[in-house]
């Protein structure tokens, strides 16, 4: 079984930076080779618009039509991604409609992206609210 599949199956969606951190004994070329091999074996698939985000393709899924959980993608857009506003309510099951936009805040701004008819949009959070939650 492929090491990437074994390591990240329970997580589902992961970043290349995680692979580098989790396999420190491997060179960047070796990591790229593992990614290439896993993609060729149809064990993982990359997010088209973000080269460093991958997801596990389960054995019961067709590789061509496999779709990861959109909230798992949102949480991996940046290492410190925070799902916000109505999107957070959707994750918690408290919002009974599905919006085609997932709002994400992060320490580092990122370009909005579209994947499988869903828009992943950067939003800023008011600094006062964040500070109050950390201190409170």
Check residue 131 and give its pLDDT.
53
DSSP string for 69-88: -HHHHHHHSSTT-EE-HHHH
The answer to whether the CB of 80 falls within 8 A of the CB of 108 is: yes
Predicted confidence at residue 26, as pLDDT, reads 95
pLDDT of residue 133: 53
Q: Determine the pLDDT at residue 129.
A: 54
Q: What is the pLDDT along the chain (136 residues), one digit of tens a residue?
A: 689 999 999 999 999 999 999 999 999 999 999 999 999 999 999 997 677 999 999 999 999 999 999 999 999 999 899 999 999 999 898 887 888 999 999 988 999 999 989 999 999 987 765 555 555 4
- pTM, to two decimals: 0.82
Q: How far apart are CA 29 and CA 65, in angstroms?
A: 29
First to last CA, the chain: 46
d(CA 134, CA 21): 27
């Amino acid at each position: 079984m492929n090491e990437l599949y074994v390591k990240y199956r329970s997580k589902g969606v992961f970043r290349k930076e995680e692979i580098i951190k989790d396999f420190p004994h491997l060179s960047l070329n070796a990591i790229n080779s593992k990614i290439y091999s896993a993609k060729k074996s149809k064990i993982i698939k990359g997010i088209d618009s973000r080269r460093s985000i991958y997801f596990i393709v389960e054995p019961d899924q067709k590789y061509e039509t496999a779709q990861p959980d959109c909230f798992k993608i949102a949480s991996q857009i940046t290492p410190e991604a925070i799902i916000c506003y109505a999107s957070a309510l959707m994750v918690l099951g408290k919002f009974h409609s599905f919006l085609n936009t997932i709002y994400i805040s992060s320490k580092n701004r990122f370009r909005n992206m579209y994947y499988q008819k869903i828009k992943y949009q950067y939003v800023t959070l008011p600094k006062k609210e964040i500070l109050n939650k950390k201190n409170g």
